[in-house]
Structure 1
Amino acid sequence: MNKKLAMLMVLSAAFSSAAWSATSEKSATYTAAKDAAATEYKLARARCDTIAGNPKDVCIAEAKSARVHTEANATAEYKNTLAARTSAAKDIADADYDVAKAKCGSVTGNEKDVCVKQASADKIAAVANAKADKKVIEARVDANDDKRNAEYKVAIEKCDALAGAGKDNCVTAAKTKFGK
Structure 2
Amino acid sequence: MTINKILAAMLIGVAGFSGTSLALAADSAKASYKAAEDLADATYKSDKAKCDELSGNGKDVCLKQAKATREHTTQDAKAEYKNTPKAIASARKSEADADYAVAREKCDGLAGNAKDVCIKQAKADQVNDVANANTQRDVSKAKADAREERADARYKVAMAKCDALAGAAKEDCIVAAKAELGK
Q: Give the TM-score normalised by the residue count of structure 2.
A: 0.78
Query: Which stretches in structure 1 are left out of the alignment for 5+ residues?
Result: 1-11
Whether 2:113 is the aligned partner of 1:110: answer yes
* C-alpha distance 89-109 of structure 1, shift in aligned 2 (>3 A): same
Single out whichever of 83-92 and 95-104 deviates more from structure 2.
Answer: 83-92
* Other-structure match for 2:13: none
* Other-structure match for 2:176: 173
Q: 1-side partners of 2:45 and 2:129: how far apart?
A: 27
* C-alpha distance 175-34 of structure 1, shift in aligned 2 (>3 A): closer
From 130, 147, 152, the counterpart of 2:155? 152
In the TM superposition, 1:1-180 aligns within 5 A as 22-180=25-183
Q: 2-side partners of 1:68 and 1:62: how far apart?
A: 10
Q: What is the alpha-carbon root mean square deviation over aligned residues?
A: 2.5
The secondary structure found in structure 1 opposite 2:55 is: coil
Single out whichever of 162-171 and 99-108 deviates more from structure 2.
Answer: 162-171
Q: 2-side partners of 1:148 and 1:50: how far apart?
A: 59
Q: 2-side partners of 1:63 and 1:110: how far apart?
A: 28
State the 1:93 CA deviation.
0.6
Equivalent position amino acid for 1:133 in 2: Q
Number of aligned positions between the proteins: 167
Single out whichever of 84-93 and 114-123 deviates more from structure 2.
Answer: 84-93
What fraction of aligned residue pairs are identical, expressed as a percent? 49
Q: 1-side partners of 2:78 and 2:36: how far apart?
A: 9
* C-alpha distance 172-122 of structure 1, shift in aligned 2 (>3 A): same
Single out whichever of 92-101 and 168-177 deviates more from structure 2.
Answer: 168-177
* Other-structure match for 1:3: none
The secondary structure found in structure 1 opposite 2:53 is: coil
Q: 2-side partners of 1:40 and 1:167: how far apart?
A: 60
Query: Which stretches in structure 2 are left out of the alignment for 5+ residues?
Result: 1-15
Q: 2-side partners of 1:160 and 1:25: how far apart?
A: 43
Q: 2-side partners of 1:136 and 1:80: how far apart?
A: 15
Could you say which structure has the greater relative contact order, defined with CA pairs below 8 angstroms and 6 or more residues apart?
2
Deviations for 1:42-74, whole angstroms, at most 9, x for unmatched residues?
A: 221121122122211111111111111111112
